[in-house]
Each structure stands twice: as C-alpha cells, then as structure tokens.
Chains A and B, each alone.
Chain A
Amino acid sequence: MLTWTCRRFRARFAPGSAPGSAHPHRHVCRDCDAFAAAVERAAGVRLPLPAGLRKSLGKIAKPAASAEGTVLPFPVPRLAVPAALAGRLSALAETGRPAPPEWVLNPRYAVAASALLALLLGPFFVRGADRGLEALGAVREEVRPILSRTGEEGRAEIEKVRSGAVAAYNAARRSFTRSAESFHGLSGRLLDIIPEEFTSEESTNPDPGDDEPAESSRRPQ
C-alpha cells in the first residue's frame, strides 16, 4: 500500500523540476527513488536530429526562400510565361492598329455629313414624286382602251373605284408635295447658311489675340 507521501511524490515528480534528485523523499524511499531515477534516465535521452533529415527538412521551404520580392504574404510557385503567351502579351503594346479617322471621333463631322446627305437626297424625293405622276399618266393611257371595251355597269364600278383612288392619290400627293417643298426650302436655306467649305471656327478667326485657347474649358479652377 502506497503511503500518502509516496503517492504525492510520484504524482508530482517531473524530471528536471525542482527539487528533483534533492527531494528529501528520495533519500528515504528506495522505490520512489528508483522510479524517479529511471524516469530521469529516460527523459535524459535526446536523439540528435540526423543530418540527412535536417537537410531534407530545410528543403521544404526552399521554393519560398528563392521567391524574393514577392507581393503576396505567402509563398507561391514561380512559373515561366509560355513563349506563345509572351508573344501575344507583348503584341498588345505594339501600335500596329491605325487610329480611327477624325470624322469618326468628332461629332461635328456627323452633323455636316447629315446635312450633305439631305442636300443630295432631297432632289431625288421631289423628282420621284414627278415620276410617279408620269407613271400614273402612262397607266391611264394603257387602261383607257381597256375601259372603253367594258360594259356600262362595269365601267361605272371601275369609275367609282378610280375616283376614290384618284382622290386618295391626290390627297397624298398634295401632302407629299408640301413636305417636299418645305424640305427643298430647308435645303436651300442650308446652302445659304453653309459656305462652300465647312471649316472650324478657330481656323476662320482672323484675330489670334481674341482667340480663346481650345483647352480653356479644361483649365483648372
């Protein structure tokens, strides 16, 4: 049966801790001293780290150690950029692509192009209406002999349809003519407004002293 002193000593004994071998109980109890000495012996065993293992453990962090100047706070593998990808990436910086024309970049060119288009197409619209009338007259000449050969009843029906069509056509023609005339007047006014050359304001200003610099609107406040 263990005495209270032995039990206390054994439960608290730790190798290297004070008072260790100088503990008074060890001098009076051989069993407890044998236990303490054996544990001290086992605790004193320290195997040196084998050199080969030490070397291989050092290699674990070698990839990270060579990654000098990394941005990320942890090691990352450093792979070479493939040659094909490197060629494509460097081509991005080359100035091989031509700059778009000025008329694409500047909205003033778009306004001028619209006005020019209106001037060119306006006469075609008016002339188209005249040609429509000519075509109608031609059709009338073609249809007249056919009508003369039909009966009284059919002629009345045809006349009714014809008169309705003529009325509708005339109304449409009047409306179109009015539009074409107003458009023609507009194009005439445009021609009066726009000189022969549609130039920028800066280049036409003869007095350089009154000229406002182009970048004045971007001047810092």
Chain B
Amino acid sequence: MTALSTSPDLLLARRAAGGRAEAWEELLALYGERVYNLAFHFAGSAQDAEDLTQEVFLRLYQNLRLYRGDVPLAGWAMRLSRNLCIDHYRRARRERRGEALSDEVLAQLPAGDDPQAEAQKRQQLRAVYRGLEEMSEELAEVVVLRDLQGWSLEETAACLDVPLGTVKSRLHRARLELAGRVTARLGPRGVPALAPAMEVETC
C-alpha cells in the first residue's frame, strides 16, 4: 500500500466526496475553525471571514474528487480559494490603514477580568498585527499561516502554492522583519516583568 493511499486526509476526502455526511462533518470539525481563523486574518472582519470561509468550503466540496492526497487537505482547500483570499487580504489591508486588525480580533474574544492584562494583551496584539500590515504581503502571509495560525510548513506551502524551500526562506526573512517592527513598537516594556535577580540585556 502506498503512502498516498494511507493518507488520512485522502481517505476523509474520498468519503466526503462519496456523499458520506459523517465524513463531511468530520472535515468541518477538523478544518472549520482553522479555515475561519485564517479567513479572519485575510478578510479582517467577522462578516467577511464568514463569507470567505463559506466560499472555501464550497469550493472544497466541489473539488474533493480531484484531491490526490499529495499535499495536506487544509492547505489544498485554501489554495482552491487563494485568489479570493488574496483579494480579500489586499482589500482589507487597504481599508485598515487607520484601524488595527487587533481591535477586530479582540472584539471577538471574551474580555478578561484584569484590565492591566487586557491592556497589555491589546498592546501586544496591535504590535504584531501592525507589524504584519507594514510588511510585504508574501512575508506577512507566511508568518500568519505558520506562526500565528500554526499551520505546518507543508500546509503553508500547499496553501501558498510555493515550494517548501521558498516557505522556509520567506519565513526566515519574515520573522526577522517582524521582530524588528514589534520590538520597535513595544520595547522591553511590552513584556511581562522578568525575575528581578535576572540580568537583562537589550539588542
């Protein structure tokens, strides 16, 4: 038996394409939240993220028979709607000039009890999202997928439709650039207090 035929993604896709309702439900349970969260990053608002997620799954369902299992299913599904995602992403970046994505994200999350922790959380999120918005699209995309959304390198490559090596090199550059932007915005004050006895240096 080949590696492709044993791929859980391929088995799941074939069952769902064959009209098994439970397979489709399993697919939603596995990838629904992941796709929605990524769509939120691409779209920048809850309503657009819902539309985008629905579009992604609609295209996934229509093309499930074509899936061969050679790339991760989630990345393959996102690639089907890649043009749509990129359109959303670029439009959202243009429209968010004065408004951070962090505010949209925080509005979706339940508020915590500690105001100081909430303020720090908001500050950190804003620093990261603003940094991403200032970066080029190809570098920002790879950080969003790999570091913020936790996609594997293979899934990221499948989603972006680029070789794995390209993902790695972009990730290297993107992390360095993002770190520079975040630290410039936050400074050492943005981190939780360190142990007093610990010696601290700054770059």
- What does the 1/0 interface line of A28-46 toward B look like (CB < 8 Å)? 1111111101110111011
CA distance A65 to B150 in the complex (A): 32
> In the complex, which residue of chain B has the Cβ closest to the Cβ of A64?
B19
Asked whether any CB of chain A lies closer than 8 Å to the CB of B108, the reply is yes
Q: Which B residues contact A (CB, under 8 angstroms)?
A: 16-21, 24-25, 28, 32-33, 36-37, 40, 46, 50, 53-54, 57-58, 61, 65, 105, 108-109, 121, 124-125, 127-129, 146-150, 172, 175-176, 178-179, 182-183, 186-192, 194-195, 198-203
Given the contacts A42-B129, A47-B40, A70-B19, A37 and B191 also touching, CB distance less than 8 Å = yes
Asked whether any CB of chain B lies closer than 8 Å to the CB of A11, the reply is yes
The contact of B53 among A6, A31, A53, by CB within 8 Å, is A53
The contact of B28 among A27, A42, A50, A54, by CB within 8 Å, is A54
Q: Apart from A67-B19, A75-B19, what 17 extra A-B contacts exist at CB < 8 Å? A: A3-B203, A10-B175, A14-B146, A28-B198, A29-B200, A30-B201, A31-B188, A31-B203, A34-B182, A34-B189, A35-B182, A43-B147, A53-B54, A61-B24, A62-B21, A73-B17, A74-B65
> In the complex, which residue of chain A has the Cβ closest to the Cβ of B174?
A11
Is there an interface contact between A60 and B203, defined as CB atoms closer than 8 Å? no
The contact of A60 among B58, B129, B200, by CB within 8 Å, is B58
Is there an interface contact between A16 and B186, defined as CB atoms closer than 8 Å? no
By a CB distance below 8 angstroms, the chain A residues around B57 are 57, 60
By a CB distance below 8 angstroms, the chain A residues around B127 are 38
CA distance A54 to B32 in the complex (A): 8
A132 nearest CB across to chain B (Å): 83
By a CB distance below 8 angstroms, the chain A residues around B121 are 41
CA distance A67 to B198 in the complex (A): 66
B145 nearest CB across to chain A (Å): 11
Is there an interface contact between A48 and B33, defined as CB atoms closer than 8 Å? yes
**27 A–B contact pairs at CB < 8 A?**
A13-B179, A14-B147, A28-B199, A28-B200, A29-B200, A30-B202, A31-B188, A31-B203, A34-B183, A38-B124, A39-B178, A39-B182, A41-B128, A42-B125, A42-B128, A43-B149, A46-B37, A47-B33, A49-B32, A49-B36, A49-B53, A57-B57, A58-B28, A65-B19, A70-B19, A74-B18, A75-B18
CA distance A186 to B183 in the complex (A): 122
> In the complex, which residue of chain B has the Cβ closest to the Cβ of A41?
B124
> In the complex, which residue of chain B has the Cβ closest to the Cβ of A13?
B175
Q: Which A residues contact B (CB, under 8 angstroms)?
A: 1-3, 6-7, 10-16, 27-35, 37-39, 41-43, 45-50, 52-54, 56-58, 60-62, 64-65, 67, 70, 73-75
> In the complex, which residue of chain B has the Cβ closest to the Cβ of A50?
B50
A170 nearest CB across to chain B (Å): 89
By a CB distance below 8 angstroms, the chain A residues around B186 are 34-35, 38
By a CB distance below 8 angstroms, the chain A residues around B172 are 11
Given the contacts A15-B147, A53-B50, A30 and B109 also touching, CB distance less than 8 Å = no
By a CB distance below 8 angstroms, the chain B residues around A33 are 188, 191, 194
A18 nearest CB across to chain B (Å): 14
Given the contacts A53-B53, A58-B28, A65-B21, A38 and B182 also touching, CB distance less than 8 Å = yes
Is there an interface contact between B176 and A38, defined as CB atoms closer than 8 Å? no
Given the contacts A6-B203, A49-B32, A57-B54, A74 and B188 also touching, CB distance less than 8 Å = no
The contact of B61 among A3, A38, A61, by CB within 8 Å, is A61
A69 nearest CB across to chain B (Å): 10
> In the complex, which residue of chain A has the Cβ closest to the Cβ of B58?
A60
By a CB distance below 8 angstroms, the chain A residues around B128 are 38-39, 41-42
By a CB distance below 8 angstroms, the chain B residues around A2 are 203
A109 nearest CB across to chain B (Å): 57
Is there an interface contact between B19 and A74, defined as CB atoms closer than 8 Å? yes
A35 nearest CB across to chain B (Å): 4
By a CB distance below 8 angstroms, the chain A residues around B40 are 47
